[in-house]
Amino acid sequence: MKAALFGASGKIGRRALALLRDRGIEVRALIHRSPLPEELSVGVETVTGSVTDPKAVDAVVEGADIVLQMATTKEDPATFFDVSIKGTFHLLESCRRHRPRQFLLLGGDAAMGIWFYPHPEPIAESDPKVAYPGYYAFSKVMEETMTEQYRHQYGLGTTILRSSWVFENDDLLNHFSLLQNVNPAEKGHGFGEPSEETLELVRQGREHLPILLDRNGEPL
**Residue 169 resides in a domain:** no
Q: Are 92 and 157 in contact (CB under 8 A)?
A: no
User: How many domains would you assign to the chain?
Assistant: 2
Give 115-166 pLDDT, tens digit per residue. 889 888 888 888 999 999 999 999 999 999 999 999 999 999 999 999 988 8
Do 60 and 112 belong to one domain? yes
Do 86 and 159 belong to one domain? yes
Q: In the listed set 114, 133, 163, which residue is the last one of a domain according to the structure?
A: 163
Give the C-alpha separation, 177 to 124, whole Å.
Answer: 33
Q: Are 115 and 100 in contact (CB under 8 A)?
A: no
CATH number at residue 121: 3.40.50.720
Do 30 and 138 belong to one domain? yes
The band of 191, judged by pLDDT with boundaries at 50, 70 and 90, is very low
Select the more confidently predicted residue: 10 or 5. Answer: 5
Do 112 and 204 belong to one domain? no
DSSP state of 186: S
Do 23 and 131 belong to one domain? yes
Do 144 and 220 belong to one domain? no
Do 152 and 180 belong to one domain? no
Sheet strands side by side (includes 2-6): 45-48, 26-31, 2-6, 66-69, 102-108, 158-163
**Residue 168 resides in a domain:** no
**Residue 170 resides in a domain:** no
Which residues span the domain enclosing 192? 176-220
Give 31-55 pLDDT, tens digit per residue. 998 889 888 888 899 999 999 999 9
